[in-house]
Amino acid sequence: MLMLMPCPGSPKCPCAQVEHRLRSTVLLLDSTKRMEWRHSPAIGETGNKMTQTLPSSRASRCQEVWQKYHEAAGHPGIERTLANIRRCFYWPRMEEEVQGFHSGCVVCSLKKDKIEAKAPLNPIVVSYPLEVVALDFLSLGRPMDAYQNILVMTDMFTRYAWAVPTRDQTAKTTVRAIWSHVIQTFGCPGRFHSDMGPNFESTLMQQLCAMYGVTKSRTTPYHPAGNGRVERLNQTVLNLLRTLRGEKQNRWAEHVQELLQAYNNTVHSSTGFAPAYLMFGRHLRLPVDVELGVAPHQSRLALSGWVEDHHQKLTLAYKLARERMGHAAERDKRSYDRKAQALSLLPGERVWVRDRNRQGQGKIRSWWNPEPYVVVSLVGDSGVVYKVRPESGGKVRTQHRNALKPCITPVNVIPEPGTIVETEAEVDPLPFGFYVVPAFEPPEVGADILPPEPPAEVVDNALRRSARATRGLPPSRYRH
């Protein structure tokens, strides 16, 4: 580490004055070719004095100077911290080391860095109807309505949708709606996919899946993108309900099925077919067709001929739908992965976990959990879901890669703000001697605004009163 020292003489590189102080000055003098010599701010522009840098010995001293400047300025970024340090200090590879110190700052990592790294997109691949049915609850926020929620369901292959108004989101209501609208009418799907809501993870839901041989999958906590198709359908349902006019909007529960029928018989952009056609193999005759006098377009064939024709049409439709959905998934993945820069994590790697549960601190809470976690294993073959556990021991949690951030703070060293991490590691061995810089304490911000406060006398069993000389006066910036 190097500290700017006053040196007498003219404004030239003062190599002769400091050469006798160093055992080897080859590297330092070589670096002076890239330095800019300026007047010392402490001496002033008229003092005709120049400053030069001199090296110090230990990495802990470099970190101490960085930490004092970094904390005194309110944890600024790398460039601002470097600008403050350069006024009085210099050491070889200073920019690189300051970046390393900054990336290991616990306060900045937990409280300032809220940007989550994006992992590559991993879409759910389906190939036939009712292979995966996605579930989610949509709350309308209308407390005066009899029905407060809508259970939204969609088949991920055909995009066929269901919307069931409900009075609550209990497990009993959820299971009853799924059984009556999906299983009883369309049969048993292969898998239900939902978030980790207590109604979808209840014992009653597990019993329903076990009874009908349906597997159950779930998203990671606070990751709605893991169930993106039903989340997108929620927006579509809201847009459809907004089209209702006048009194119909107040009685939306009576008209939501009409809107869903129109949606299911409209061509979907992802498949190129109407969801009802992929589900039933024919275009449904709608009330608007009857009103306009449109006759049904059905060929009159024998039963065996109709079955063969129906089978051929569905086979071709499924093939075209799979190809179109595959192209759409590849296009979306390419577009999304352009900004996906999160690297894969290895078992044993230390990470910060996104904290979304802390209450009571409002907008000044930390963005990340202050306790480091350790990666236990990778879940499945997706490459984006991990099992992690607290470094000090505790329950294993399943988290998406977007909710994890590498933790580079030394093991078992999670310092509180204001402490200095001492290390025995030396600076990269360089061919020059070292000069120990005296301890440096930066001035406190705003310390010279008000005069020092006299000690207040403490009187037992009496009310404490301020003894400041400026008591009752406005702040100094408002005084003339």
Q: pTM higher than 0.75, yes or no?
A: no
- Give the chain's end-to-end CA distance (angstroms, integer): 44
Q: Which two tokens stand for residue 114?
A: 């809220």
Inform me whether the pLDDT recorded for 415 exceeds 80. Answer: no
Same domain flag for 87 and 179: no
* Residues 228 and 370 occupy one common structural domain: no
pLDDT of 408 strictly over 50: yes
Q: Are residues 242 and 317 in the same domain?
A: yes
Lowest model confidence (mean pLDDT) among 172-176, 399-403, 417-421, 462-466: 417-421
Residues 273, 137 within the same domain: yes
Task: State CA 422 to chain mean position distance.
Answer: 32
Do 294 and 223 reside in the same domain of the chain? Answer: yes
Domain termination site, one of 382, 406, 430:
406
The H or E element spanning position 476 is: none
| Distance between CA atoms of residues 310 and 331, nearest Å | 31
| Total domains in the fold of the chain | 3
Place of tokens 């005296």: 438
Beta-ladder partners of 2: 90
Averaged pLDDT of the chain: 77
Q: How confident is the model at residue 212 (pLDDT cuts 50, 70, 90)?
A: very high
One domain, residues 44 and 137? no
Is 21 within a domain?
Answer: yes
Q: Identify whether 411 is part of a domain.
A: no
Lowest mean per-residue pLDDT among 12-26, 300-314, 327-341? 12-26
Cα pseudo-dihedral 309, 310, 312, 314, rounded to 10: 160
| pLDDT band (50, 70, 90) for residue 409 | confident
SS3 content of the chain, % helix, strand, coil (to 5): 35, 15, 50
One-character DSSP codes across 110-131: III--PPPPPPP-PPP--STTS
> The domain that contains 381 carries what CATH number?
2.30.30
Contact (Cβ atoms closer than 8 angstroms) between residue 431 and residue 372: no
Give the tokens for residue 308.
């063969």
Q: Where does the pLDDT of residue 118 fall: very low under 50, low under 70, confident under 90, or very high at 90 and above?
A: confident
Give the model's pLDDT for residue 98.
Answer: 85
Same-domain pairing of 150 and 87: no
Whole-angstrom distance, CA of residue 393 vs CA of residue 448: 48
Q: Tell me the percentage of the chain whose pLDDT exceeds 70.
A: 69
Q: Which domain holds residue 158?
A: 133-336
Whole-number pLDDT of residue 27: 52
